[in-house]
Amino acid sequence: MLEWFAAGGAALYAGAALRAFLRRDLSASAYPSPGRAEAEIDALARQHPERCAIEEIGRSSEGRPIRALRLRGTGADPAPGSSRPRLLVTAHIHAVEFVGSFVARAVAHRLATGYGRDRETTALLDRADVFVVALLNPDGAERVWRSGGFCTLGGARFTARGVDPNRNFPFVPIAERGAWNTGRDRRGSAYYRGPHPLSEPECLAVARLAERERFCGALNFHSFGGVVYLPAAEGSAAARHALGAFQGPFQSRQRFLRYRPVPERSAAITGQLDAFLLGAFGTPSATIEVSRPGLALAKPGRLPNVFWIANPEDPARWAENDADAAIFALGELLARTGGRPCAPTQPELANRLSG
């Protein structure tokens, strides 16, 4: 009898999973499509023109715009060449990580609407400009959305040209043991770093923005490990001090789950954005892996669907957990750096941008 019930339950589960696969539709989820997400940024800029400006910083390989929302206090000097400190928030560099862009948009919304009402937000925007690039990989995001989230591990990460964009930044090879997810030279690998550093226009766009603005701090939203990855900062006490913002202060403002800080080894993830920003421009930068997978994965159609492995059902809850903490961490980065980038730890990396 127990075997009969087990077989029947397995058949029902398999049938529901098959129906979910055939439907392949994310429109009923709590996540907006990439187009709607970008429209949210447009609406925010229209509602707060005195604090928000949108700049196209590049185009994807399929021609989609990559845009940065710049936020600043209304009393700030509007001159583009002013010496005000700059901070960077990025998200959705990997195709499937929709919850990261959801939280990045929440950060932008809280900065725009909290100015003049919230003391910390007002103080931050009166002292610094904050750039939010909430969708770094628009081609990949659109591909995942069209597939309903049923894709391979590589498809969940890649640009349109099959490259892991967070392995595509310049790096200095170091003779140490790499990690399991170290960048690979083999095309088809989920961690394929591309034919050469900055081969992907998405990566080149954010690298050139970083070169121009010389951010004093950055944070990058990913999913879904519930940890904060910190790049190796050997030889830079200033960078280590700045990155301390993510080793207690950030966690102290998280609402219900505090993410464990995880220092990276130099050779662990070659070609990563955090390490490039610190090495090339002296920008202390951390990766925030939003959320943790929960029991929702047991639902039919969830476990075989990479979208639902990487993204929680309730992104608003995680925005509540992380957005205010991220704004506090940006303020900490500003204070710990004095509004200036640290000395680059590998300045030769910036040479890859010439030409």
Q: Using the structure block, give the residue that is written with the tokens 């909430």.
A: 134
- Contact assessment for residue 93 and residue 28, using Cβ atoms and an 8 Å cutoff: no
DSSP string, 44-67: HHHH-TTTEEEEEEEE-TTS-EEE
Q: pLDDT at residue 7 above 90?
A: no
**Distance (Å, rounded) from C-alpha 40 to C-alpha 241?**
35
pTM comes to 0.91
How much is the average pLDDT of 10-33?
62
HSE-CB of 203 using CA atoms within 13 angstroms: 28
HSE-CB of 297 using CA atoms within 13 angstroms: 12
**Cα(first)–Cα(last) distance of the chain, in Å?**
72
39: left (phi over 0), alpha (psi -120 to 50) or beta: alpha
Residue 299 confidence (pLDDT): 65
Residue 234 confidence (pLDDT): 79
Q: pLDDT at residue 236 above 80?
A: yes
Alpha helices in 118-166 (DSSP H): 119-127, 138-147
Pairing relationship of beta strands 65-71 and 129-133 according to DSSP bridges: antiparallel
Delineate the domains of the chain, giving CATH numbers in brackets.
33-353 (3.40.630.10)
**Distance (Å, rounded) from C-alpha 204 to C-alpha 197?**
9
Residue 76 confidence (pLDDT): 54
Which tens digit of pLDDT belongs to each residue from 189-217?
999 999 999 999 999 999 999 999 999 99
Q: pLDDT at residue 253 above 80?
A: yes
Residue 296 confidence (pLDDT): 60
Q: Which of 136-145, 149-158, 293-302 has the lowest mean pLDDT?
A: 293-302
Q: pLDDT at residue 182 above 90?
A: no
Angle at 107 between CA 24 and CA 36, to 5 degrees: 35
How much is the average pLDDT of 149-175?
93
Which tens digit of pLDDT belongs to each residue from 24-70?
589 889 999 999 999 999 999 999 999 999 999 999 999 999 999 99
* Sheet hosting strand 217-223, strand order edge to edge: 52-59, 65-71, 129-133, 86-91, 217-223, 285-290, 227-230, 260-263
**Distance (Å, rounded) from C-alpha 246 to C-alpha 252?**
10
- Contact assessment for residue 54 and residue 42, using Cβ atoms and an 8 Å cutoff: yes
Residue 180 vs residue 327, higher pLDDT: 327
